[in-house]
């Protein structure tokens, strides 16, 4: 009789443990924070002027990726890629008009996968593409199946657009244009993104969530409260480090602008740089509000935080501004990951891609049903040991529509070199060696001493394009 009771007790214990799957499978939350047109001019990345105490704080909480690369340096192609985990040549999104579901109607996006695993999924602001600033306050080119809740803030910066100084006299979505606003942080669109995201955190803190906060800065027009402009006296802002004689050395296909520095005088360029920096510090303050809310709500210990920007941004390097080139300053962008199980205060020198983000979060949150066709790789090993062995280069591409016929440029980056082919090499080839030329001032593609490197990098490029 005693032996029988003992067996029954063991059986009851086994059945009881089986009824508690959450103990074996932690349900980590995800706070997914996106910036728009943000380069690596941040304190944590070593910039000596730009003040970003909150992003520096986030970096110290986890891993800062020093060589993180987007797949396409333009908003919609990049965002479509990171959210589907697929390369632009699979989504076929190369512009700001096409939606990825026109090509892939049944694709399972990252937030959709979280929903299928019982998560609440919501976004505030720009995660998929919005015309910025034209479509602020609308759904833009959003993806409805990705979310259970969608919130589109609209702030006073929309009303202040007639007040901007526009140096390039172009549409505000692609202009060196700025305004130092007298309005407080919370009156601006990004301030409202922070407030709405905090509200969602408060209302959904008792359930597993994937909440995305999409900020609109530092994308032009560079509108931010006056106090952030005051952080950067104009006298302290240098003109871009670019020599006009270097313009003719650049391959025509590699150029996006038709005229170096838009043909502007140094003062206008310095004012634009100052406004961009002010917008970064305004963004940083809003990220800080989200971090403070996680701490107040006691969500830090069970929330994975990912901070990213859709692509980098040039501020006069190579005579260029903004994006749509394949130089380092555009292909590279910030990527910070922190949360439970992630070792703090790490900086990873490994080359990673944005297609790696989807499989990483699926892995960390132990999601079921992850698509099997994702070309990325989980970054979990680098989140444990930032310098772990890693041999996967990064592929970035961009489109040259002004040519007849138009063509693509493809660029592969490993830890030392960048190799780029324009129109399969017919419009030129570039090779940069960052160990000896960190500013990309010399193209080594035709240097006999680099012939072996060219062959090796071309092989890496061809292999990456097949993945």
Look at the block and give the residue holding tokens 């130089």: 327
Task: Read off the DSSP letter of residue 305.
Answer: E
**DSSP of 157-217, one letter per residue?**
HHHTGGG-EESS-S-GGGS-EEEEE-S-GGGSHHHHHHHHHHHHHHHTTTS-EEEEEEEEE
Element (H, E) at 278: helix 266-296
CA distances from 448 to 251, 344, 435, 438, 452 (A): 19, 44, 18, 20, 8
CA distances from 47 to 76, 277, 336, 453 (A): 28, 11, 16, 31
Of residues 214 and 15, the one with the higher pLDDT is 214
- Residue 80 CA to residue 365 CA, distance in Å, equals 21
Rounded (5°) CA angle 361-366-368? 105
- Residue 32 CA to residue 304 CA, distance in Å, equals 8
Q: In the predicted model, is pLDDT for residue 443 greater than 50?
A: yes
Determine how β-strand 407-413 pairs with β-strand 222-225: unpaired
Task: Please give the pLDDT value at position 4.
Answer: 46
Per-residue pLDDT tens digits for 128-152: 999 999 999 999 999 999 999 999 9
Q: Is the dihedral of CA 348, 124, 355, 120 positive or negative?
A: positive
- Residue 354 CA to residue 85 CA, distance in Å, equals 8
Instruction: Please tell me whether the peptide bond between 405 and the residue prior to it is cis, using omega within 30 degrees of 0.
Output: yes
Confidence grade of residue 25 (pLDDT, cut at 50, 70, 90): low
Q: In the predicted model, is pLDDT for residue 30 greater than 90?
A: yes
What is the percent of the chain with per-residue pLDDT over 90, rounded to a whole number? 93
Give the orientation angle of helix 266-296 with respect to helix 189-203, to 10 degrees.
10
Is residue 64 a contact partner of residue 345, using CB atoms and an 8 Å limit? no
- Residue 437 CA to residue 443 CA, distance in Å, equals 9
Domain ranges of the chain: 25-392
Q: In the predicted model, is pLDDT for residue 1 greater than 60?
A: no
- Residue 126 CA to residue 129 CA, distance in Å, equals 6
- Residue 375 CA to residue 204 CA, distance in Å, equals 32
> What is the rounded average pLDDT of the residues 203-209?
97
CATH superfamily label, 25-392: Alkaline Phosphatase, subunit A (3.40.720.10)
Confidence grade of residue 57 (pLDDT, cut at 50, 70, 90): very high
> What is the rounded average pLDDT of the residues 279-295?
98
Per-residue pLDDT tens digits for 72-88: 999 999 999 999 999 99
Tokens found for residue 54 = 């909150």
Tokens found for residue 372 = 């099997």
What is the percent of the chain with per-residue pLDDT over 70, rounded to a whole number? 94
Per-residue pLDDT tens digits for 377-398: 999 999 999 999 999 999 999 9
Among 312, 311, 313, 178, residue whose Cα is nearest residue 240: 313
Determine how β-strand 165-166 pairs with β-strand 335-338: unpaired
Of residues 191 and 24, the one with the higher pLDDT is 191
- What is the chain's length? 467
- Residue 351 CA to residue 378 CA, distance in Å, equals 13
Q: In the predicted model, is pLDDT for residue 92 greater than 60?
A: yes
Mean pLDDT of the chain: 95
Q: Which residues contact 344 (CB under 8 A, 6 or more apart)?
A: 60, 61, 62, 338
> What is the rounded average pLDDT of the residues 10-28?
49
Q: In the predicted model, is pLDDT for residue 223 greater than 70?
A: yes
- Residue 93 CA to residue 99 CA, distance in Å, equals 7
Give the orientation angle of helix 357-364 with respect to helix 75-84, to 10 degrees.
30
Give the orientation angle of helix 53-61 with respect to helix 266-296, to 10 degrees.
50
Look at the block and give the residue holding tokens 């107040």: 296
Is residue 338 a contact partner of residue 344, using CB atoms and an 8 Å limit? yes
Largest CA-CA distance found in the chain, in angstroms, rounded? 96
- Residue 344 CA to residue 377 CA, distance in Å, equals 21
Is residue 132 a contact partner of residue 193, using CB atoms and an 8 Å limit? no
pTM (two decimals): 0.94
Confidence grade of residue 18 (pLDDT, cut at 50, 70, 90): very low
- Residue 156 CA to residue 245 CA, distance in Å, equals 42
Confidence grade of residue 344 (pLDDT, cut at 50, 70, 90): very high
- Residue 181 CA to residue 226 CA, distance in Å, equals 5
Task: Read off the DSSP letter of residue 277.
Answer: H
Q: In the predicted model, is pLDDT for residue 7 greater than 70?
A: no
> What is the rounded average pLDDT of the residues 250-276?
97
Confidence grade of residue 2 (pLDDT, cut at 50, 70, 90): very low
- Residue 176 CA to residue 168 CA, distance in Å, equals 6
Task: Please give the pLDDT value at position 26.
Answer: 67
């Amino acid at each position: 009789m005693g032996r029988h009771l003992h067996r029954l007790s063991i059986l009851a214990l086994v059945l009881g443990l089986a009824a508690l799957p959450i103990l074996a499978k932690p349900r980590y939350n995800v706070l997914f924070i996106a910036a728009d047109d943000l380069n690596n001019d941040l304190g944590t990345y070593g910039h000596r002027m730009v003040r970003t105490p909150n992003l520096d704080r986030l970096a110290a909480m986890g891993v800062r990726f020093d060589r993180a690369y987007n797949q396409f340096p333009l908003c919609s192609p990049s965002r479509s890629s990171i959210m589907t985990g697929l390369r632009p040549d699979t989504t076929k999104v190369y512009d700001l008009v096409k939606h990825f579901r026109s090509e892939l109607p049944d694709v399972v996006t990252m937030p959709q996968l979280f929903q299928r695993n019982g998560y609440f999924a919501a976004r505030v602001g720009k995660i998929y593409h919005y015309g910025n600033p034209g479509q602020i306050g609308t759904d833009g080119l959003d993806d409805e199946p990705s979310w259970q809740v969608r919130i589109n803030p609209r702030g006073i910066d929309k009303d202040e657009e007639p007040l901007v100084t526009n140096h390039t006299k172009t549409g505000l979505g692609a202009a060196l244009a700025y305004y130092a606003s007298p309005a407080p942080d919370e009156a601006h669109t990004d301030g409202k993104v922070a407030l709405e995201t905090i509200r969602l955190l408060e209302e959904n803190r008792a359930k597993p969530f994937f909440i995305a906060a999409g900020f609109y800065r530092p994308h032009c027009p560079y509108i931010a409260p006056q106090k952030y402009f005051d952080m950067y006296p104009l006298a302290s802002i240098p003109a871009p480090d670019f020599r006009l004689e270097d313009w003719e050395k650049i391959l025509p296909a590699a150029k996006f602008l038709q005229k170096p520095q838009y043909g502007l005088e140094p003062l206008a360029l310095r004012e634009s740089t100052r406004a961009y920096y002010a917008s970064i510090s305004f963004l940083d303050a809003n990220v800080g509000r989200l971090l403070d809310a996680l701490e107040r709500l006691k969500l830090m210990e069970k929330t994975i935080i990912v901070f990213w920007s859709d692509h980098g941004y040039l501020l006069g390097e190579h005579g260029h501004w903004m994006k749509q080139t394949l130089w380092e300053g555009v292909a590279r962008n910030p990527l910070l990951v922190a949360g439970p199980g992630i070792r703090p205060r790490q900086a990873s020198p490994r080359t990673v891609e944005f297609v790696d983000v989807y499989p990483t979060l699926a892995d960390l949150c132990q999601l079921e049903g992850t698509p099997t066709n994702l070309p990325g790789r989980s970054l979990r090993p680098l989140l444990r040991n930032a310098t772990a062995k890693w041999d996967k280069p990064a592929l970035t591409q961009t489109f040259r529509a002004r040519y007849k016929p138009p063509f693509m440029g493809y660029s592969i980056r490993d830890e030392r070199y960048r190799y780029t082919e324009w129109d399969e090499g017919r419009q030129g080839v570039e090779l940069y060696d960052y160990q000896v030329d960190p500013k990309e001032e010399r193209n080594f593609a035709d240097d006999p001493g680099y012939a072996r490197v060219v062959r090796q990098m071309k092989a890496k490029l061809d292999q990456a394009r097949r993945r």
